[in-house]
Amino acid sequence: MWKHRTLIDDAVEIFSNLCGYMGVTGKILNSNVGKNFLCVIAPEGGVRAYELNDDWLENIAAGWDKNDTRVEITKDIISKLSFGGLDSTPYSDLSINDRDYFDNFSIKLADLTVSRGYMKL
């Protein structure tokens, strides 16, 4: 079983590498209820968020060695950032420019997944 801090650190490092690779702006944001999120910010302020949840990351890591754990966390981050979630700006609330930005972002993530380029993050 991995220590929580190590899993959080790995997720943040993977997210940082992903943002650099994709050329997007990424931030760690904190909610007023103590949750932390890895966020991609669109040019006009739209947000795609991935919640940094210790229990969820520990569940992903269960039974894997460190390298496999990083791959599984990477795949989870990519899948959740591809479509957004409850913690992301609703699609209907995004500006046209932010919609285009996230549509292109999702296509780039899909290409990264198909090419297995995520293995390098």
DSSP states along the chain: ---HHHHHHHHHHHHHHHHHHHT-EEEEEE-TTS-EEEEEE-TTS-EEEEEE-HHHHHHHHTT--HHHHHHHHHHHHHHHHHH--TTSPPGGGS-HHHHHHHHHHHHHHHHHHHTTGGGG-
Rounded distance between C-alpha atoms, residue 105 and residue 89, angstroms: 15
Q: What confidence score (pLDDT) does residue 1 get?
A: 46
Instruction: Provide the sign of the torsion angle of the four alpha carbons 64, 67, 73, 78, taken in this order.
Output: negative
Q: Are 82 and 106 in contact (CB under 8 A)?
A: yes
**Lookup result for tokens 């991995």:** 2
In the chain, where are the structural domains located?
4-120
For each of the chain's 121 residues, which pLDDT tens digit applies?
Answer: 445 568 899 999 999 999 999 999 999 998 878 889 999 999 999 999 999 988 888 888 888 888 888 888 999 999 999 988 878 999 999 999 999 999 999 999 998 888 888 777 6
Q: What are phi and psi of 90, to 5 degrees?
A: -55, 140
Q: What confidence score (pLDDT) does residue 2 get?
A: 47
Q: What confidence score (pLDDT) does residue 34 get?
A: 84
